[in-house]
A and B are shown apart, each in its own frame.
Chain A
Amino acid sequence: MNDALYHKAVMRMAATSKGAGGLENPGATATVDNPLCGDRVTMDVTLADGVITEVGHKVRGCVLCQASASTIGEHAVGQRAEDVKRVQGRILGMLNGAVDKTPEPWTEDVSAFEPVTPHKSRHKCVLLPFDALVEALDNA
């Protein structure tokens, strides 16, 4: 079970931590907490004509949370708010057992979280960075 959850892709994504450190002058920001465990994600974002041009994050969280934030750092630039919300919905659906084989740039990284599905107490760990990003985009 531990091998399935803490597999190489997730560990690599967490270690890479793409986008870590936040932005110096973000266009919008949001901080979201997980009240169950104390994890906190701050997501900074800058947009031009509704397209994300920069994204940065500060994560106080577990491996899953860090890997999820890294996914955002890897793929969010060039996306629009509706694209991010669609990916958020895909992840939520996947964690709840839905199957969506629509290929898109995020697909490989999103599928890395599929082993989290049976661990409902860890779903929020994966979703927290996306919640923060969506809130930042709504604040923009």
Chain B
Amino acid sequence: MTFDPAKIRAQFPIFEVPATGGAALHYLDSAATAQVPDVVLDAVRTHDATARGNIKRGVHFLAERATEAYEGAREKVADFLNASPSEVIFTSGTTAAINLVAHSFGQSLEAGDEVVVSELEHHSNMVPWQMLRDRSGIVLKYLPVTADGRLDLEALESTVTDKCKLIAVTHVSNVTGAVTNVSAIVAAAKAVGARVLLDGAQRASHGPVDVAALGVDFYAMSSHKMFGPSGVGVLWGRAELLADMPPFMGGGEMIRSVTKDVTTFADPPARFEAGTPPITQVVGMGAAIDWIGTLDQEAVTSHLNRLTERVLNGIADLGGGNGRIKVVGPQGLQERYPVISFDINGAHPHDICQILDGHGVALRGGHHCAQVFMDAMDLAGTSRASLGPYSDDSDIDALFAGLEDAIERLT
């Protein structure tokens, strides 16, 4: 099937906004945040204009309407993940979701228990475990990365011991685009009775995630990276684990009863949703999931693979070639998503991205909240292009033109 990104772009009003200097916008930073289609913008506005009320506790029609919209979005997330709605917890994002697990599931861990993360992790899936280590004396271990920016599975056996209680790794790297071999991670965890958490922030925009088939125990994702509003995300957790986990935050909604001396807590997911949640943003996230469902994912994948291949094949020839530009991460299309980091010898990512901005190209430069990975690669940072279903050949043309300019100015 022929995929027409122009029809996708037409649904995103951001592309009508002139970029720096009046240039057309070439948005290659979807890994940082995805853009938002009209249907999501409309859903957010419509909710606040026609159904805005606080959820669950009121009996008036707006409270009921808002509750229905909020819980309806939860069901959409559950369907997206092939899970039960009672296992879906709304948070403020992936970072909050992982912190919830680190605090709440983390209370079941004792000094000397081991948690395994990887050198590839975003800080959101590293720092909460470091904080748990410093609070409670767990041992934090790091699965190393390979030279092509993947998890080093050969180190699994030596890293995951019978003291391991949790393996927490990325589903898709925000730096290299590499896809984790989840079945190998799950097998290693099961062999020692450990649980698995996947950071799904970069994966979720590419279509439904079957957590049952993956065999993991926790899955975290962010709305703003999957064409929805910012400020909301999801933690999915297995029912039997959530049932035993103490609350993370205390307040309204998460209680069963409160007295001066004793408070009892609600069942999940309410137990982990203290206070008024981002109701409008949750509704927007539901609309984003609906929008993702309208896409022919096979056609989108084929389109993005073609564009990714253009970048991978073309980038090495820029600036006269000679190895001046190197892709940091997988060099081909296998087991990767359209997130491409690269290093230009003699040029700093910030300068590269500034010059690209002058060409209307939105690129990301720096350590991408993955300083441990950068240390492993002996880099201060990379420049990163990340594609979405609205990306097209003109974006790649502009990327190449901008990089030629950057190389000429900087090297």
Contact A119 B366 (CB under 8 A): no
- Chain B residues near A122: list those with CB within 8 A: 350, 354
Q: Out of B351, B367, B371, B374, which one reaches A62, CB within 8 Å?
A: B351
A37-B381 in contact given A1-B20, A6-B409 (Cβ < 8 Å): yes
- Chain A residues near B20: list those with CB within 8 A: 1
What CA separation (Å) do A39 and B366 show in the bound complex?
Answer: 8
Q: State which residues 8-42 of A face B: CB under 8 Å.
A: 11, 36-40
Interface: B410 (CB within 8 A):
yes
Interface: B358 (CB within 8 A):
yes
Interface: B21 (CB within 8 A):
yes
Interface: B376 (CB within 8 A):
no
Query: Mask for B340-370, Cβ within 8 A of A = 1, else 0?
Result: 0000000011110011011000000111000
- Chain A residues near B409: list those with CB within 8 A: 2, 6, 11
Residue of A nearest to B379 (CB): A38
Interface: B405 (CB within 8 A):
yes
- Chain B residues near A125: list those with CB within 8 A: 350
Contact B381 A38 (CB under 8 A): yes
The residue in A5, A38, A63, A119 that gathers the most chain B C-beta atoms within 10 A of its C-beta is: A38
Looking at chain A's contact residues, is the secondary structure mostly helix, strand, loop, or mixed?
A: mixed
Minimum distance in angstroms from B290 CB to a CB of chain A: 34
Interface: A73 (CB within 8 A):
no
The residue in A1, A119, A122 that gathers the most chain B C-beta atoms within 10 A of its C-beta is: A1
Interface: B380 (CB within 8 A):
yes
Contact A38 B367 (CB under 8 A): yes
Contact B374 A6 (CB under 8 A): no
Contact A61 B355 (CB under 8 A): no
Contact A6 B366 (CB under 8 A): no
Minimum distance in angstroms from A39 CB to a CB of chain B: 7
Q: Out of A2, A38, A60, which one reaches B358, CB within 8 Å?
A: A2
What CA separation (Å) do A11 and B409 show in the bound complex?
Answer: 9
Contact B355 A6 (CB under 8 A): yes
What CA separation (Å) do A39 and B348 show in the bound complex?
Answer: 10
Q: Which 4 A-B pairs have the closest CB atoms?
A: A62-B348, A2-B358, A38-B367, A37-B366
10 more CB-based (< 8 A) A-B contacts, given A36-B366, A37-B350: A1-B21, A6-B351, A37-B380, A38-B381, A39-B380, A60-B380, A62-B348, A62-B350, A62-B351, A64-B351
20 A-B pairs with C-beta separation under 8 A: A2-B354, A2-B409, A11-B409, A36-B366, A37-B365, A37-B381, A38-B380, A38-B381, A39-B348, A39-B380, A61-B380, A62-B348, A62-B350, A62-B351, A63-B348, A63-B410, A64-B351, A65-B348, A122-B350, A125-B350
